Structure 1
Amino acid sequence: MVSGFTVIFIMVGIGYLLGRTRVLGESAHEVLSRLVFFVCTPALLFHSLVTSDLSVIFSKTLVIAGGSALTIGLAYVVVARLWLRRAIPELAIGGLSSSYVNSVNLGLPIAIFVLDDASFIAPLLLFQILIYSPMALITLDLTVTDPALGHASRKTTLRDAVIAPLTNPIVLGGVTGLIVSAVGRLPPTAVLEPMKMLGNASVPCALLAFGLSLTGAAIFKKGESPRRDIALASALKIVAMPALVYVVARFGFGETGHDLFAQVVIAALPTAQNVMVYATRYRRAQIMARDTALITTLGSIPAIAIIAVLLT
């Protein structure tokens, strides 16, 4: 656990220093975020799914983790809509912030070093990239406002609903990888290696972009940061989601011991930096995504420690 968190803090710190020194220029954060969104993450998803065992991925863990994430995300949307009166793009980013788990750059180290089994994280990774991300990204594609024109960039028609996922690089990478994996024939090495190289850059680039976004930023600043949104998303992510997963896994599926511990620990992982990348791409709720990711990263450390004391 310490190793996994240390990796994150070092990478984010390097990104912050790059931003402070302006080594990469004024637009580094946006350019790096676009690189992650359009190139590196699609390659990561494609390579991960092509080389995965689908029998391990399609398991009860997929139902527990995926169902709980959807429930928590929906809870945020309902509360934020009724209480805070937020627009749909902000609700989409907030829903992800409250339930989208950092399953790669922190989830994998935790699964390896704490749980001693990386297979626990694979079903959640599949759910997030093939179901959860597409749902949120399609919503953003159809509802976001074009800042240059000042009005909706697309009309929410049936045609748009069909075209939007077909033009989203992350959705395309995940779906293509799943199809190739289901066929059962690996692409040639000349194709897989470039995808692997680009995919390996996704996590560090996302962390660097996150660090760049912290430059000159006052976290949870009054009058600038949407405090109620951040507090709601953070509480749902660190407290409500692990509690829900415990109830579902323990009483719904009868899990005990190490399996139950693993499910709850994964649910307690912080918000993924991918949410910040999405927020930057669509230029909506960026401060919320940034602050929630940072607060949940810090909060997940004591949360996982408490879970370890209670369940082991």
Structure 2
Amino acid sequence: MEGIVLGFVTVAAVIAVGALSAHLGVLGAEAQAVLARTAFFIGSPALLMTTVADADVGDVISGGLVATAAGVAVAAVLYVVAARWVWRRRGADLVVGALCSSYVNAGNLGLPIAAYVLGDAAYVAPTLLLQLLVLQPLALGLLEGGAPGRSSSLGAVLGRALSNPITVGTLLGLLMSVTGWRLPEIVAAPVGLVADLAVPAMLLAYGVALRLGPRLGGQDPAAEVTVVVALKVVVQPVVVWVAATALGLDGATVLAVTVCSALPTAQNVFVIATRYGRRPSLARDTVLLSTVASTASIAGVVALLG
């Protein structure tokens, strides 16, 4: 439980700094946009490159990956069906909602929780790389395609996804992981320094948005936000647990993939939503509420399966 407390307290503290800075007038709405763009175009590509480079790609080729993918797919599809027919969402709005429902905070929460609670940070690798190499590039390609004058063909979507700075950083990291090649120290040092700003920039931007943005729940139907949070912290881990058990995975792996799937919505979903101007309030509310709700969800998973 120490890892859970450490991860959540760290995230909450940095968000609080952003909110306090906005309250005191140190940071304004323009600072939120600058921080979000900095995280998206500069910090995140460097962070993802270094993170994926250090991951063992062999960990991804496992039954845990199948179970993790099942949870992501079920949560995203259920949201799309509900949002399409109940709230009449379309296009990019569906993409952001699906990300809110299924994209977990595998980085700044998943890594410490995997290390401290599960005993091995490698347990988060299937979730991390599935999101970075499949879910995120696909979502970014679709969001780019939603812009006026952009083609929505499969080739165009893939081309935009592969040219996105976050995807490029991820692919470079994967290449480094597969080949074992590493950046020269004179290059790695500044890249690492830039990578270190990604998560703080995301969290500070989120804190500013909490203080200066519309009140919680002010722009989205409460029922929709509730459904998204429930899909994220209840439905997704249940589906992953069922899939992992059905695949006959060992107890430690079942616990690991279920805990990882119960993590809250990642802050970079808010950064992405802000970057494309598509439902940032839904992303903001989901990140906040799922972070609170996931503490109980993760504690329940550990108590039942640990």
- Using structure 2 for the length normalisation, give the TM-score: 0.93
Match of 1:71 in 2: 74
2:193 to 194, 197, 213: 197
CA–CA distance in 2 between the matches of 1:91 and 1:173? 25
**1:74-223 matches, cutoff 5 A:** 74-144=77-147, 152-157=148-153, 160-216=156-212, 217-221=214-218
1:234 to 229, 233, 241: 229
Query: Does residue 1:271 correspond to 2:274, yes or no?
Result: no
- Let me know the Cα RMSD of the aligned residues: 1.6
User: CA offsets per residue over residues 101-160 of structure 1, 9 Å max, x none?
Assistant: 00011111211121111111112111111110001000000013xxxxxxx242334663
Match of 2:298 in 1: 304
One-letter identity of the residue aligned with 1:174:
T
Structure 2: gaps (5+ residues):
none
Match of 1:11 in 2: 14
One-letter identity of the residue aligned with 2:187:
V
Match of 1:294 in 2: 288
1:51: Cα distance to partner? 2.6
In the TM superposition, structure 1's runs of 4+ consecutive aligned residues that sit over 4 Å from their partners are: none
**1:242-281 matches, cutoff 5 A:** 242-251=237-246, 253-281=247-275
SS in structure 2 of the partner of residue 269 of structure 1: coil
SS in structure 2 of the partner of residue 215 of structure 1: helix
One-letter identity of the residue aligned with 2:119:
D
User: CA offsets per residue over residues 193-252 of structure 1, 9 Å max, x none?
Assistant: 22222112211211111111101441123xx2332321111110011001101100011x
CA–CA distance in 1 between the matches of 2:153 and 2:294? 40
CA–CA distance in 2 between the matches of 1:267 and 1:161? 27
Match of 2:65 in 1: 62
**Residues 38 and 169, structure 1, Cα contact 8 Å, conserved in 2:** yes
> How many residues are treated as equivalent by the alignment?
302
One-letter identity of the residue aligned with 1:237:
K
CA–CA distance in 2 between the matches of 1:276 and 1:142? 19
Change (3 A) 1:161 1:309: closer
Q: Which moved more, 1:281-290 or 1:298-307?
A: 298-307
Q: Which moved more, 1:266-275 or 1:71-80?
A: 71-80
1:281: Cα distance to partner? 0.2
Percent identity over the alignment?
39
Query: Does residue 1:31 correspond to 2:34, yes or no?
Result: yes
Structure 1: gaps (5+ residues):
145-151
- Using structure 1 for the length normalisation, give the TM-score: 0.92
User: CA offsets per residue over residues 243-296 of structure 1, 9 Å max, x none?
Assistant: 101100011x21343322222111111000010000000001111000011000
SS in structure 2 of the partner of residue 187 of structure 1: coil
One-letter identity of the residue aligned with 1:198:
V
SS in structure 2 of the partner of residue 115 of structure 1: coil
One-letter identity of the residue aligned with 1:225:
D
Change (3 A) 1:153 1:231: farther
CA–CA distance in 2 between the matches of 1:39 and 1:284? 21
**Residues 46 and 195, structure 1, Cα contact 8 Å, conserved in 2:** no
**Residues 226 and 288, structure 1, Cα contact 8 Å, conserved in 2:** no
